[in-house]
Amino acid sequence: MTTYTEDYIRDKLMKELDAKHVSVEDMSDGCGAKFNVVVVSPKFEGKPLLQRHRLVNGALEEELKTIHAFSMKTLTPEQWEKQSQ
């Protein structure tokens, strides 16, 4: 079984989704099986939540075969800006 790191997940999502911000938290005490992520990407513009999640799941298709738990929050840059204020 391959284990994934926070850096690996972050780099992959940044590249695949042209993300402006990605935060990744390994919730599995370092074993790489449970992650919580926030992804900010212009690719989410005009897309409902389900389509945004499908984009993330598609980017991590292979990795999700061995990750046991994966929660995500997907935001557009505008939503991220409003939330950060």
Question: What's the CATH number where 33 sits?
Answer: 3.30.300.90
Count: domains in the chain: 1
> CB neighbours of 53 closer than 8 A, spacing ≥ 6?
72, 74
Task: Give me 24's structure tokens.
Answer: 């990744």
Helix axes 6-17, 49-59, angle to 10 degrees: 120
- Output the tens digit of pLDDT for each of the chain's 85 residues: 567 899 999 999 999 999 999 999 999 876 778 999 999 999 999 999 999 999 999 999 999 999 989 999 999 999 999 998 8
Give the pTM.
Answer: 0.92
CA atoms of 35 and 55, how far apart (whole Å): 17
DSSP string, 7-21: HHHHHHHHHHHT-SE
Give domain status of residue 1, yes or no: no
Range of the domain at 51: 6-84
